């Protein structure tokens, strides 16, 4: 048994060396054949890498939003087909006073916050940034929304309730306004008033929903209310509610539904005129979306790889034809069928693998460029590398089998006649 | 020794070999000669098992080759050395790798052992120092010698040569013929050479077999062939003006 294994190992080595020599001897043909697989692997792994990166960013964003937080909004995140769009448009927006009612009347809510936003210019001395997203938030915003501060602190209870002129800047906004200066304690001008910078958010990067704090600023809702009517529709007001530990989202939604209907004095037969949105709804939606994109990736990349596979099969048939005499001599000198089969199969797999690796290198180069130019967290993962390598090997095996099998079954008389 | 007993072979019901019976002696250079299309190539392929005879037997020593299956024949195949027309070296391999190929296929020798054996065989065909060269760097005669070294690498009991000096100039062709003859005697091999070169016949033909229209027409030695009264053989032997002039 051991003797047989040693012999097989030696024959495989001999076959591999034979195949390698053939590939090196036909460089141009090898390169042209590789192109199909290279493009295929590049396409499929690029799509998967994009999907993976997007999925990771979106899940991180959802996680930042709080995976157990319920958003009370005018508009739903997923539309109910029974209602028409104008029925949603006619709904009232959540109001600031409703936040107080929610906090007071629900038993399941641990923390709730109100948020409304607008866009304004922010100035510091001679520097100004136009159209900055200014969010007014109520006191418990820090308990329902996950974020970290790079420096400074969050609003105190007094600053929130009294509507003091305090502001927390996003990381990029702070960098733009205070390029070489520590902004904490300094005053920026907003709505024509001085606001004291009390904190700077940690850099969050490009979020999947564009909900990053990086380019925005946050002030107490009572401060914002001094300049605009925060209950107005155009400022997109909404309430975020987070349940007590042990309370499920379903229980929280039941509780909030009852309380909101009561606050808005809706009769029993009336439809809700508010939407309770869960981040899990987004997750489910994105699961479906990513499944579709992944399928599309397989189909697009699959066709490219299929074409590459045909290319390899074609060139292997040519290779078998060209080497008919060599096959004949090998057989006459004692080569067994499986030696010939393995020799050509190895060559096909090697071709496909080289093509796949070049494709992976292109993806790697592409991700490096995207990361450096666009500053997007884009990554060629180990699992995608493994997938690319595996797909290459399988395509090489499938595409190379028929030519290799035909070579191994070749009649040595015919082969030797071609020698003569 | 190889015995051919009443061998018949047909293609599309057209007989190519008709009841051939003869013996190839051990330690001797046996030549099969005949015109193109006479059937000598088919006989050679039947001998090595590349074609199956329709009837009759081919016996290697005491073993009936014709009655053996593919696997059983491997025992005999290991003892067959083959020298192809045009040398047929593997262009992608060095001289040493070419000579080692049958060793890789038939033996479990280590690389070191194979290299030693290849060096010995190359030395024997006077190609010492050419081990690292590629076939493209060799002359026609050197290629033939590498092919002979490859054929004898597995220490064959039987050596089959198909037109061994085709494409070579006369002096080189004679060198190759002599080398085959020397090796045959030295290693006590049963050598069968398929040729239509009369120079080879006169140089190394210990036993000459003339095939005519698929039939065994004449058997004898190189000394006898010039004095035979067989008309068809004489037509073959004295086909050239040179031979006719020499006869006169």
Tell whether A268 and A204 lie within a shared domain.
Answer: yes
- Token code pair at residue A138: 């109520």
- On whether residue A82 sits in a domain, the answer given is no
Task: Name which residue leads in pLDDT, A73 or A410.
Answer: A73
Look at residues A335, A353, A344 and name the one whose alpha carbon lies nearest to residue A404. A344
Residue A262 zone, left/alpha/beta (φ > 0; ψ -120 to 50; rest) = alpha
Chain segment A317-328, per-residue pLDDT in tens: 888 887 787 788
Sign, CA dihedral B178-B184-B185-B186, equals positive
* β-strand partners of A193: A190
Tell whether A226 and A194 lie within a shared domain.
Answer: yes
* Helix (H) or strand (E) run with residue B206 in it: none
Return the pLDDT at A210.
54
B92 to chain A, closest Cα gap in Å? 6
The whole-angstrom separation of Cα A196 and Cα B17 is: 111
Strands A193-201 and A166-169: parallel
Strands B190-194 and B158-162: parallel
Tell whether A44 and A161 lie within a shared domain.
Answer: no
Where does A66-214 have alpha helices with state H?
Answer: 85-89, 96-105, 141-144, 157-162, 171-177
For A298, residues 6+ apart whose C-beta sits below 8 A from its C-beta are A44
The whole-angstrom separation of Cα A404 and Cα A338 is: 9
> End of a domain among A273, A306, A339?
A273
- Angle at CA of residue A199, ends A194 and A205, nearest 5°: 115
Percentage helix, strand, coil for chain B under 3-state DSSP, each rounded to 5 = 40, 25, 35
Look at residues B44, B19, B46, B50 and name the one whose alpha carbon lies nearest to residue B30. B44
Whole-number average pLDDT of chain A: 84
Q: Output the CA torsion A253→A257→A260→A264 (10° steps).
A: 160
* β-strand partners of B161: B83, B193
Tell whether A38 and A183 lie within a shared domain.
Answer: no
Q: Is A110 exposed, middle or buried (0-12, 13-18, 19+ CB in 10 A)?
A: middle
- Token code pair at residue A36: 């199909």
Sheet hosting strand B29-33, strand order edge to edge: B80-83, B158-162, B190-194, B29-33, B207-212, B215-220
Average pLDDT (B189-198) is 90
> Looking at A59-186, which runs of residues are DSSP E strands?
70-73, 109-124, 127-137, 149-152, 166-169
C-beta separation of A380 from A367 below 8 A: yes
DSSP label at B240? S
Whole-number average pLDDT of chain B: 88
Give the chain B residue whose CA is nearest to the CA of A410: B50
Task: Name which residue leads in pLDDT, A279 or A202.
Answer: A202
C-beta separation of A116 from A230 below 8 A: yes
Tell whether A295 and A345 lie within a shared domain.
Answer: yes
B85 to chain A, closest Cα gap in Å? 6
Tell whether A119 and A33 lie within a shared domain.
Answer: no
Lowest mean pLDDT among A261-270, A357-366, B1-10, B223-232: B223-232
Return the pLDDT at B129.
84
Residue A330 with chain B: CB contacts under 8 Å: 101, 105
> End of a domain among A222, A243, A273?
A273
Q: Which of A11, A334, A419 sits opposite B84 (nearest CB)?
A: A419
Tell whether A186 and A104 lie within a shared domain.
Answer: yes
Where does chain B have alpha helices with state H?
Answer: 40-48, 70-77, 95-106, 111-124, 140-152, 170-186, 198-204, 222-225, 231-237, 241-247
- On whether residue A184 sits in a domain, the answer given is yes
Tell whether A121 and A53 lie within a shared domain.
Answer: no
Per-residue pLDDT band at A380 (split at 50, 70, 90) = confident
Neighbours of B239 (CB within 10 A): 13
Tell whether A38 and A113 lie within a shared domain.
Answer: no
B244 to chain A, closest Cα gap in Å? 30
Residue B77 with chain A: CB contacts under 8 Å: 334
Domain range for residue A363? 9-61+284-419
> Across the interface, do B102 and A326 touch by the CB < 8 Å criterion?
no
The whole-angstrom separation of Cα A59 and Cα A379 is: 15
Residue B162 with chain A: CB contacts under 8 Å: 420
> End of a domain among A246, A273, A300?
A273
* Residue A364 confidence (pLDDT) above 80: yes
Q: Is A90 exposed, middle or buried (0-12, 13-18, 19+ CB in 10 A)?
A: exposed
Q: Which of A6, A10, A21 sits opposite B92 (nearest CB)?
A: A21
The whole-angstrom separation of Cα A80 and Cα A82 is: 5
* β-strand partners of A66: none
* Residue A339 confidence (pLDDT) above 70: yes
- On whether residue A86 sits in a domain, the answer given is no
- On whether residue A142 sits in a domain, the answer given is yes
> Across the interface, do A332 and B50 touch by the CB < 8 Å criterion?
yes
Return the pLDDT at A147.
87
Interface test with A, best of B81, B92, B102 (most A CBs within 10 A): B92
Tokens 């006369």 appear where?
Answer: B170
Interface ipTM > 0.90 = no
Q: CA dist A250 to A66, A275, A412, Å?
A: 15, 14, 75
Neighbours of A102 (CB within 10 A): 21
Percentage helix, strand, coil for chain A under 3-state DSSP, each rounded to 5 = 60, 15, 25
Chain segment B126-172, per-residue pLDDT in tens: 888 888 898 889 988 899 889 989 988 988 899 999 888 888 888 88
Residue A412 with chain B: CB contacts under 8 Å: 50
The whole-angstrom separation of Cα A369 and Cα B137 is: 48
Per-residue pLDDT band at B31 (split at 50, 70, 90) = very high
Please report the number of interchain residue pairs, chain A to chain B, with beta-carbon separation below 8 angstroms: 50
The residues on A that touch B, with CB distances below 8 Å, are 3, 6-7, 10-11, 14, 18, 21-22, 25, 325-326, 329-330, 332-336, 339, 412-413, 416, 419-420
Tell whether A258 and A289 lie within a shared domain.
Answer: no
- On whether residue A253 sits in a domain, the answer given is yes
Look at residues A102, A113, A99 and name the one whose alpha carbon lies nearest to residue A145. A113
C-beta separation of A118 from A228 below 8 A: yes
Sign, CA dihedral B120-B126-B129-B131, equals negative
Q: Which of A3, A333, A412 sits opposite B108 (nearest CB)?
A: A3
- On whether residue A72 sits in a domain, the answer given is no
Per-residue pLDDT band at A9 (split at 50, 70, 90) = low
The whole-angstrom separation of Cα B171 and Cα B177 is: 10
Chain segment A19-55, per-residue pLDDT in tens: 677 777 778 877 877 888 888 888 888 888 888 888 7
Q: Output the CA torsion B140→B142→B146→B147 (10° steps).
A: 30
Task: Name which residue leads in pLDDT, A336 or A218.
Answer: A218
The whole-angstrom separation of Cα A335 and Cα A343 is: 11
Look at residues A190, A166, A207 and name the one whose alpha carbon lies nearest to residue A118. A190
Chain segment A137-160, per-residue pLDDT in tens: 999 999 888 888 999 999 999 999
Own/partner long-range contacts of A415-418 (Cβ < 8 Å, ≥24 apart): A415/A324, A415/A325, A415/A327, A415/A328, A415/A329, A415/A331, A416/A325, A416/A328, A416/A329, A416/A332, A416/B50, A416/B84, A417/A328, A418/A324, A418/A325, A418/A328
Residue B88 with chain A: CB contacts under 8 Å: 325, 329, 419
C-beta separation of A173 from A107 below 8 A: no
> Across the interface, do B105 and A336 touch by the CB < 8 Å criterion?
yes
Tell whether A260 and A289 lie within a shared domain.
Answer: no
Give the chain A residue whose CA is nearest to the CA of B78: A334
Residue B105 with chain A: CB contacts under 8 Å: 11, 330, 333-336, 339
Sign, CA dihedral B201-B202-B208-B210, equals positive
Q: Which of B51, B86, B101 sits opposite A333 (nearest CB)?
A: B101
- Angle at CA of residue B228, ends B224 and B233, nearest 5°: 105
- On whether residue A3 sits in a domain, the answer given is no
C-beta separation of A283 from A125 below 8 A: no
Tell whether A301 and A255 lie within a shared domain.
Answer: no
Domains and CATH numbers, chain B: 2-79+157-247 (3.40.50.300), 89-155 (no CATH)
Return the pLDDT at B3.
94
> Across the interface, do A419 and B104 touch by the CB < 8 Å criterion?
no
* Residue A185 confidence (pLDDT) above 60: yes
Chain segment B219-240, per-residue pLDDT in tens: 998 888 888 888 888 888 888 8
Strands B29-33 and B207-212: parallel
C-beta separation of A167 from A219 below 8 A: yes
The whole-angstrom separation of Cα A116 and Cα A392 is: 52
Per-residue pLDDT band at A11 (split at 50, 70, 90) = low
Return the pLDDT at A420.
41
Give the chain A residue whose CA is nearest to the CA of B70: A336
- On whether residue A366 sits in a domain, the answer given is yes
Chain segment A393-410, per-residue pLDDT in tens: 999 999 999 999 999 988
Q: How many domains does chain A have?
A: 2
């Amino acid at each position: 048994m051991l003797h047989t294994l040693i012999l097989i190992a030696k024959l495989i080595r001999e076959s591999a060396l034979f195949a390698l020599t053939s590939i090196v001897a036909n460089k141009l043909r090898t390169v042209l054949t590789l192109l199909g697989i290279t493009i295929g692997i590049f396409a499929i792994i690029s799509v998967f890498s994009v999907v993976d990166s997007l999925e990771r960013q979106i899940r991180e964003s959802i996680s930042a939003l709080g995976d157990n937080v319920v958003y009370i909004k005018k508009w739903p995140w997923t539309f109910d087909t029974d209602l028409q769009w104008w029925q949603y448009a006619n709904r009232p927006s959540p109001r600031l006073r409703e936040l107080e009612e929610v906090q007071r009347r629900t038993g399941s809510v641990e923390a709730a916050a109100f948020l409304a936003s607008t866009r304004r210019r922010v100035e510091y001395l001679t520097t100004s940034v136009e159209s900055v997203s200014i969010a007014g938030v109520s006191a418990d915003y820090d308990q329902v929304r996950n974020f970290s501060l790079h420096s400074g602190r969050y609003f105190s209870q007094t600053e929130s309730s009294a509507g003091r002129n305090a502001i927390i800047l996003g990381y990029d906004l702070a960098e733009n306004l205070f390029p070489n200066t520590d902004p904490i304690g300094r005053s920026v001008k907003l709505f024509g008033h001085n606001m004291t910078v009390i904190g700077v958010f940690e850099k969050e990067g490009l979020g999947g929903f564009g909900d990053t704090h990086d380019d925005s600023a946050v002030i107490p809702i009572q401060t914002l209310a001094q300049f605009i009517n925060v209950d107005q529709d155009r400022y997109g007001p909404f309430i975020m509610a987070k349940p007590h530990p042990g309370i499920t989202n379903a229980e929280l939604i039941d509780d909030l539904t009852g309380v909101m209907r009561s606050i808005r004095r809706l009769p029993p037969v009336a439809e809700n005129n508010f939407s309770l949105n869960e981040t899990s709804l987004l997750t489910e939606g994105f699961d479906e979306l990513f499944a579709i994109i992944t399928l599309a990736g397989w189909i697009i990349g699959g066709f490219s790889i299929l074409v590459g596979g045909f290319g390899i099969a074609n060139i292997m048939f040519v290779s078998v034809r060209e080497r008919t005499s060599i096959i004949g001599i090998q057989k006459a000198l004692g080569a067994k069928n499986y030696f010939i089969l393995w020799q050509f199969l190895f060559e096909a797999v090697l071709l496909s693998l080289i093509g796949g690796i070049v494709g992976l290198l292109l993806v790697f180069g592409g991700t490096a460029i995207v990361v450096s130019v666009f500053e997007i967290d884009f990554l060629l993962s180990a699992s995608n590398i493994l997938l690319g390598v595996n797909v290459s090997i399988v395509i090489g095996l499938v595409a190379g089998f028929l030519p290799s099998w035909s070579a191994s079954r070749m009649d040595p008389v015919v082969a030797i006649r071609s020698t003569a | 020794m190889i015995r051919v007993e009443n061998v018949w072979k047909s293609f599309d019901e057209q007989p190519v070999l008709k009841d051939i019976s003869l013996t190839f002696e051990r330690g001797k250079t046996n030549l099969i000669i005949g015109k193109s299309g006479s059937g000598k190539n088919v006989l050679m392929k039947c001998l090595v098992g590349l074609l199956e005879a329709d009837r009759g037997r081919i016996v290697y020593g005491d073993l009936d080759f014709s009655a053996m299956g593919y696997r059983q024949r491997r025992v005999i195949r290991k003892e067959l050395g083959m020298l192809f027309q045009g040398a047929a070296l593997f262009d992608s391999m060095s001289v040493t790798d070419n000579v080692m190929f049958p060793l890789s296929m038939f033996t479990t020798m280590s690389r070191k052992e194979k290299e030693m054996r290849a060096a010995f065989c190359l030395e024997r065909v006077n190609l010492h120092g050419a081990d690292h060269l590629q076939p493209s760097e060799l002359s026609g005669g050197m290629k033939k010698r590498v092919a002979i070294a490859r054929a004898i690498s597995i220490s064959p009991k039987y050596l089959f040569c198909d037109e061994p000096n085709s494409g070579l100039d006369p002096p080189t062709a004679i060198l190759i013929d002599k080398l085959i003859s020397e090796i045959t005697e030295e290693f006590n091999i049963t050598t069968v050479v398929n040729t239509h070169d009369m120079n080879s016949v006169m140089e190394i033909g210990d036993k000459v077999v003339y095939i005519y229209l698929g039939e065994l027409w004449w058997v004898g030695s190189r000394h006898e062939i010039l004095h035979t009264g067989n008309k068809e053989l004489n037509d073959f032997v004295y086909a050239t003006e040179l031979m006719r002039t020499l006869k006169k």
